[in-house]
Amino acid sequence: MTSELLERALVEEATKKSGLIWVRGAGAPAARALWHVWHEGAACVVGDGPGEQPLPGLADGATAEITVRSKDKGGRLVAWSAKAVELAPGSEAWEAAVAELKGKRLNAPDGEAMPGRWARECRVLRLEPTGATSDLPDGSLAEAPLPTPATTRQPIPAALPRLLLKKRRAKR
């Protein structure tokens, strides 16, 4: 019983303090980083709408594996199992979760109209711990990035070194 309480406390504290959790829903090929809030004993997430995070493999009643990272070092702290519960828009539980989520949502395009958009176009889920924690793997779980046409590596402009040297000479 004591170890169960300690595991539950570890899950709650680690998840509360972490800004991101890695969630792998049933049938999802890989875990995704999701922003969340801890509210009334569960991690609450919003997504699957325009401009919001995708929630692949997370359906009402489905199970998910959550890995929580350390906020300061970024290493894995705990992995736990959860049951996803979709909250009905306008319900008391939905209103309470959205009030918490709204305060943590960064760079929202619609400000105060955000809860209405979430009710119309998104899903709000509670990821409720089932009580089972998993052993953390020994090796890295790093995966190759998904293919994308985006690029960050390009040759620097030929004049850039001269421009940088001029600024350094001017400061002396």
- In the predicted model, what is the mean pLDDT of residues 18-24? 90
Question: Strands 37-39 and 42-47: what pairing?
Answer: antiparallel
Report the CATH number at residue 50.
Answer: 2.30.110.10
Residue 161 maps to a domain: no
Residue 163 maps to a domain: no
Residue pLDDT, tens place only, 117-135: 999 999 999 999 998 788 7
Helices assigned H by DSSP within 18-113: 92-104
Q: In total, how many domains does the chain have?
A: 1
Confidence at residue 26, expressed as pLDDT on a 0 to 100 scale: 85
Please report which confidence band the pLDDT of residue 66 belongs to, taking 50, 70 and 90 as the band edges.
very high
What is the share, in percent, of the chain residues with pLDDT greater than 90?
44
Residue 77 maps to a domain: yes
Confidence at residue 5, expressed as pLDDT on a 0 to 100 scale: 86
Using CA atoms, how far apart are residues 58 and 108, in angstroms rounded to an integer?
23
- In the predicted model, what is the mean pLDDT of residues 56-74? 88
Please report which confidence band the pLDDT of residue 163 belongs to, taking 50, 70 and 90 as the band edges.
confident
Using CA atoms, how far apart are residues 136 and 76, in angstroms rounded to an integer?
8
Residue 150 maps to a domain: no
Residue 47 maps to a domain: yes
Residue 148 maps to a domain: no
Confidence at residue 124, expressed as pLDDT on a 0 to 100 scale: 96
Residues of the domain holding 21:
2-138
Residue 131 maps to a domain: yes
Confidence at residue 76, expressed as pLDDT on a 0 to 100 scale: 84
Residue 158 maps to a domain: no
